Structure 1
């Protein structure tokens, strides 16, 4: 295209020139609207007063074209009074206001945008049209569909003008249908049968009657490559190190009926999904080679790690099959160990020598290289957050050894802050040329830094309420947490101020103070409370913390209709003065909507006569949360919570301190505080001193800020006289669905829950409940 333009320019200019050299009298730019004339002239090397030169003009056109802001560039040469007038006629590329997708039935618009983002393709609105970017988008869309089994997807694009050289860009996707594998054959295999090898492909299977459940018959290049890798590992495990798998012979036949083909033509016109019966037949050529066995193993060049350490890591015994997969894992393991010591350019060459009996002797030639240190650390995207707040979570100070494991833990610690999201950008790690130094740039996006809310609503416990609050996890960009809130409603009045300093005097020790005043009405009593608490936290290891604090709470409970039971006696200004402490291990990758990691916590609270109160007791708590990876980005979420409390000095645990479960944070599907032991005399819930809740979820992250979960909950409460999991008050179970939205206006996820009870509670109708709340999951 550029060559044709240059030829046209040459002819125009050539016809305009006389035999003698011409001088440029004036240079004009026409056709530009948004791009200033001065900006264009700045990139043109031809100058007024100089000789007119075809090569220079050709380079001028190339420089303007490389700006990617013009859709057409022409050059005209006219006669002037004292020379030639050179006119650059440009046509600016239109501005893309918005994007639209048509025909994408298998991948929704939001999911498609997320998939494109994963491939590094971002649809930039209000930017100039980029033809190369359009080609990238179309290729990325086709790749996305191929990964899902659509091997014949086509994508077309079109422009719709909205005036003033502004357009909307529409991508029309012709998905086609998925291709099903109907037959897999192997050529060249002698040691193992076709049937045996088909089993080792694992995720790629021939079509059968229940394939619609597992989808293992859907072909994609990614799935095929994974299947071939599994096949190679099977051969490697048995000593066939030279196994070779050639290019497959693939034949696709269309078994779509003529009637369906006619329907498909009409459906395509309306951008509807079509149905095809595409069947694939695959023949995989194999060269198995000989079977080899492990011989002698030696190491040379290692200074940091001794032979004794390397031999201990080597798991293959002499005489066993030459398992190439295990050998590769060994090399990877040793490489990671050296990387964690700062040896980033470590290499490990495998030298083999084959002797009689197909025995392979191995020598690992190690080049440790230099030990690298962190030279410079930078952060991008933290417009509010101070560098100091992020740097102190980075476990490698500048000038220290750059350890890969410490670097990964640093990235996790930064993301755990909850206000600087680094998951959408890969960190930039660059070696300083000629030096054993590393520069690191961490890029992120600030989210939920400050939240100011005024509004109202309805909750299961509070009824209708009005609420006003200010909260931040990053007060003034210093990483401090501050929360001021007030709530008033039909059943609750609540005021609270909380402040946390996560780093005291630049040490990883935290301080938290909380002042509160509340008045709540429950089903059969009311409770007024006021007080304060403060605590200190100490980071013992990277993810292990210990906290200790003090709580002062005055409680007033007026008389109840149930006060004939000692638990319901009226209380006036009863003081709980307690010391509490906890040990917590936390590797969750996000404080509100984690997708991986685990969190364990053991707590103990003591309120004895020594502390001056009159509500004597102790409480032991255990919490365990583990996220287990499942299919693709989905995961299982297992949560267990257990508490036990006992009165001291003859004290009976009062009603307002006893355990009740049910509701959004314990056993979903049951009403709030409706799972508890019942007083046989009054037939009223009296709560318990032992509590157990277990939650199992299968979570599917649909988008970056949205999760969908299927859950199964169970829990129970028992009094002082009952044993754990007693038959009389057995566990109550429920199941249901939950949707979580991490909206930018809230710091915590909004949750919509539908739960259905599986066990009956006397006096309560067994039916599904829809619940709404804002807060963390567990």
Structure 2
């Protein structure tokens, strides 16, 4: 075996370590980590967490690695019935995965099981694995599917003779005739038949697939083996007041089978059931008999019901005045048969409410005296004193979140609060923190004042050692370390931010984070095992909507370039309203959770009242301080030429634009949000041929109640300059599916002049129609307008529309259709409008 040798020289204490590997290792920082830890065993532990080695051996002055094969290519041939991605998923393969020879050997077995389960009984899988000297593998999966079989009929092997009528019934329950062969569906059908047999008294029955027989190219006979076992007949003797069907509901045999312990459990349940209905003297016995020749077994339940007691009178003992509604509910049982469950329900509710109010020792007790067939009930309800946490004392540490006092005492509340303190300390790096609690009680007339004293021992705060970074082939570890905190105290929120930033770089298909804890030295190593995404990416969109008509877009991205994560993208977007070209170059992995891109662009825009040719470049700097927020600074230079317009202020004109933006997105779901909000705002200044300040914002929030989701979008903006000084391409126009529905594209135009400010509000009430198909409906009400000056803006005269629609949100695109009506229609305006949109991302 050829070995690649990496020599790591360390001059401290004249110590050296050698690492031997059968295949080259990806980029990593083993040298720096070892220099920090000076412990080969810990290096071994870190390497094991990468799951990329068959074996790791540590010797006196060297570490010997047997690296797994790296999947660099996956090719599937002969698959015509399923998506290739589905076959890849079943195989457990993905680009960049390290796999062992054992993993490869299991792939045909996994795929055969999948195909057989879907009716391809003649499936043949051939695997061709090409491994180069670097240990990179191209895996070719050759599939010969054969025919997909259907079940012509089901036949039975049974331990007892089956009549034709029984066979027919069994087949009806299975419902497999002329259905596609599928192991999982057969098992579900077997479960239905098994339940039917147990309902018939065959509590020990068992059904399994015996075999199947091919009778032609795509039909089979399915053979099932049925072991019925004994048929149990449960006979009740003496149940004069309780119906047999109600008693049979208590039997446990369908789940656990029949044995003496289960029969005794059955007897106990029957006894409790009788007593709960007022048969307080009930006595129950049983006998068991088997007939081997007929495979019948009889379970006889002998019941002596005794008297059924009525409630003659009810008295109460309590240390407080009982609520009138409780007294009324209990007294209505007077003269009725004693039923403990019904009687206990209002009492349980009362005690539950008392404990919620702080009466932690409250309880109730029911006792009775028998008088013939009657009962004299005595109900004791003890409330006791109220427990109130008036204050809390903290020793050793001051938690960020204090216990809000005064508050009703609850043991569960204090336990959960202690857990929250431990969690807070852990997330700050106090991994060994302990929290003990003592309670001081101060008694007054009706209240116990509880004073919890939290003794918090934080222990030593864990410091971060060098982060261990492994797995990249084209990205230098030092680039990742720009945004990985080291040599400081561990804080979970910071690690979460680091991981979120890496995910948002879109350079990795997988990120496996972990922590290596050294309790002895009170230190932590962050572990980042990375699988790089493909460096070339083609994405596209094709769609149609009532505004842009046919729309198509495509982008080509080359990323993770030159070892520093550089990225370049070419983008084309074509529709009836615009043709856009753009070329980006930049990086998403700059220090301080930031990215920088330089872009050149050209845009041909076709508006309702003008056309615009715009070309230029921009520089965009983004920073992500946390996973919800994005800050942006942008400098843009453009040359703008207007045509097909009656308004020309200056044409063409040059424009510089510098802006600052803030976005905050904490929606719980990006595809169909039900809570959270999205906020964006931009403030900027343009100069050169056109000079003005401007600002705009948008807020959209979501609120769920019942099965409805209400969402409202509020959007407004303005340019601090008179409209007469603004080129028409710098003015605002509204209308269309993305602003105010019911109006056509840019129909809200102030008679074609436009405005220097705008405001609109969208209100949607969404609800599921067919949730399984991701189909939702919505009602909406929109209002808003554009304004030519500040005076008109402050008057806030709006146009209003309302309507109804449906939409289907998916990760691969969306479909929407709505009907909108103008509520304040003016002369010459169309009173209603249909809007349609569909997009598919690929």
TM-score by length of 1: 0.53
Structure 1's 368 and 389: CA in aligned 2 closer, same or farther, altered over 3 A? same
- 1:530-570 CA-partner distances (Å, limit 9, x unpaired): 2222233455677555433322222222344xx2xxxx238
Q: Matches of residues 270-419 of structure 1 in structure 2 within 5 Å?
A: 290-294=384-388, 299=393, 302-305=395-398, 313-317=402-406, 321-324=408-411, 327-328=414-415, 330-352=417-439, 354=441, 356-357=443-444, 359=448, 360-374=450-464, 397-410=485-498, 412-414=500-502, 416-417=504-505
Q: SS of 2:424's equivalent?
A: helix
- Give the direction of change, closer, same or farther, for the CA distance of 1:468–1:329 in structure 2 (3 Å limit): closer
The answer as to 2:633 corresponding to 1:558 is no
Write the deviation string for residues 478-527 of structure 1: whole angstroms up to 9, x where unpaired. 765643223455553332223442344x3434322222222233334322
Contact 2:740–2:784, Cα closer than 8 Å, also in 1:
no
Name 1:95's counterpart in structure 2.
113
| Equivalent pair of 1:714/1:733 in contact (CA under 8 Å) | yes
Q: Tell me which residue corresponds to 2:19.
A: none
Contact 1:374/1:401 (8 A) holds in 2? yes
Q: Distance in 2 between matches of 1:369 and 1:452?
A: 52
In structure 2, what is the equivalent of residue 46 of structure 1? none
Q: How many residues of Structure 1 are paired with residues of Structure 2 in the alignment?
A: 528
Give a deviation string over 1:617-658, Cα, whole Å, max 9, x none.
3321112244556669x865443221101336x852222222
Q: How does 1:159-558 map to 2 (within 5 A)?
A: 234-242=353-361, 290-294=384-388, 299=393, 302-305=395-398, 313-317=402-406, 321-324=408-411, 327-328=414-415, 330-352=417-439, 354=441, 356-357=443-444, 359=448, 360-374=450-464, 397-410=485-498, 412-414=500-502, 416-417=504-505, 431-432=517-518, 436-438=522-524, 451-453=537-539, 458-464=544-550, 467-471=553-557, 482-488=568-574, 490-504=576-590, 506-538=591-623, 544-558=629-643
**Structure 1 partner of 2:785:** 717
Could you tell me which residue of structure 2 aligns to residue 688 of structure 1? Answer: 755
Spell out the pairing of 1:122-137 with structure 2 (5 A cutoff): none
1:665 aligned to 738, 742, 761, which one?
Answer: 738
Aligned-CA RMSD value: 5.9
Aligned twin of 1:750: 814
Question: Could you tell me whether the CA contact under 8 Å between 1:659 and 1:691 is conserved in 2?
Answer: yes
Corresponding residue for 1:582?
661
SS of residue paired to 1:529: strand
Query: How is 1:136-151 mapped onto 2 (pairs within 5 angstroms)?
Result: none
Residues 663 and 235 (structure 1), Cα distance of their counterparts in 2 relative to 1, 3 Å cut = farther
Q: Deviations over 1:650-671 (max 9, x none)?
A: 8522222221223343234543
> Does the aligned pair in 2 maintain the 1:607–1:616 contact within 8 Å?
yes
User: Distance in 2 between the 1:574 and 1:706 partners?
Assistant: 48
Q: Is the 8 A contact 1:534 1:551 kept in 2?
A: yes
Does the CA contact (< 8 Å) of 1:676 and 1:687 recur in 2? yes
Assess, with a 3 A threshold, how the Cα gap between structure 1 residues 551 and 411 changes in structure 2: closer, same or farther. closer
Offset from partner CA, 1:247-273 (integer Å, 9 cap, x none): xxxxxxxxxxxxxxxxxxxxxxxxxxx
Displacement of 1:95 in angstroms is 1.8
Q: Do the aligned partners of residues 742 and 686 (structure 1) sit closer, same or farther apart at CA in structure 2, a change above 3 Å counting?
A: same
Q: Using a 3 Å threshold, how does the CA distance of structure 1 residues 440 and 483 change in structure 2: closer, same or farther?
A: same
Secondary structure of 2:493 counterpart: helix
Larger Rg: 2
Determine if contact 2:501/2:593 at 8 Å carries over to the other structure: no
Q: Which moves more between the two structures, 410-419 or 730-739?
A: 410-419
CA contact (8 A) 1:238 1:323 kept: no
User: 2:654 and 2:837 mapped to 1: Cα distance?
Assistant: 34
Q: C-alpha distance in 2, partners of 1:756/1:229?
A: 53
Distance in 1 between the 2:611 and 2:358 partners? 74
Structure 2 CA distance for partners of 1:409 and 1:292, relative to 1, 3 Å = farther
Shift of 1:342: 1.6
1:647 maps to which of 721, 726, 733:
721
- Asked whether 1:623 is paired with 2:713, we answer no
Equivalent-residue separation in structure 2 for 1:385 and 1:625 (angstroms): 40
Deviation at 1:443, TM superposition (A): 8.6
1:590-609 alignment, distance < 5 Å:
597-608=676-687
Q: C-alpha displacement at 1:716, in angstroms?
A: 2.0
How far apart are 1:368 and its partner, in Å?
A: 2.6
- Measured at CA, do residues 345 and 373 of structure 1 come closer, stay the same or move farther in structure 2, by a change above 3 Å? same
CA contact (8 A) 1:664 1:773 kept: no
Task: Find the residue that maps to 2:418 and give its secondary structure.
Answer: helix
Query: What CA distance in whole angstroms lies between the structure 2 residues aligned with 1:725 and 1:620?
Result: 16
Whether 2:806 is the aligned partner of 1:771: answer: no
SS where residue 497 of structure 1 aligns?
A: strand
Deviation of residue 730 (structure 1)? 3.0
How far apart, in 1, do the equivalents of 2:482 and 2:389 lie?
47
1:739 aligns with 2:808: yes
CA distance in 2 between counterparts of 1:233 and 1:444 reads: 52
- Return the structure number with greater strand share: 2
Question: Would you say the 8 A contact 1:688–1:717 is kept in 2?
Answer: no
Q: Cα offset for 1:742?
A: 1.0
**Superposed displacement of residue 345, structure 1:** 3.7
Give the conservation status (yes or no) of the 8 Å contact 1:737–1:755. Answer: no
1:444 and 1:346, CA in 2 relative to 1: closer, same or farther beyond 3 A? same
Counterpart-to-counterpart distance in 2, 1:410 and 1:494: 34
Give CA deviations for 1:664-684 in whole Å, capped at 9, x if unaligned. Answer: 43234543222333x2xxxxx
* Mapped contact 1:661–1:672 kept (Cα < 8 A): yes
- Cα distance, 1:326 vs. partner? 5.1
SS at match of 1:339: helix
Q: Match of 1:675?
A: 748
2:648 to 569, 575, 579: 569
Shift in alpha-carbon separation, 1:623–1:334, aligned structure 2, 3 A? same
Q: Distance in 2 between the 1:773 and 1:753 partners?
A: 9
Q: 1:574 to 1:328 in 2, by over 3 A?
A: same
Q: Which moved more, 1:549-558 or 1:355-364?
A: 355-364
TM-score normalised over the length of structure 2: 0.50
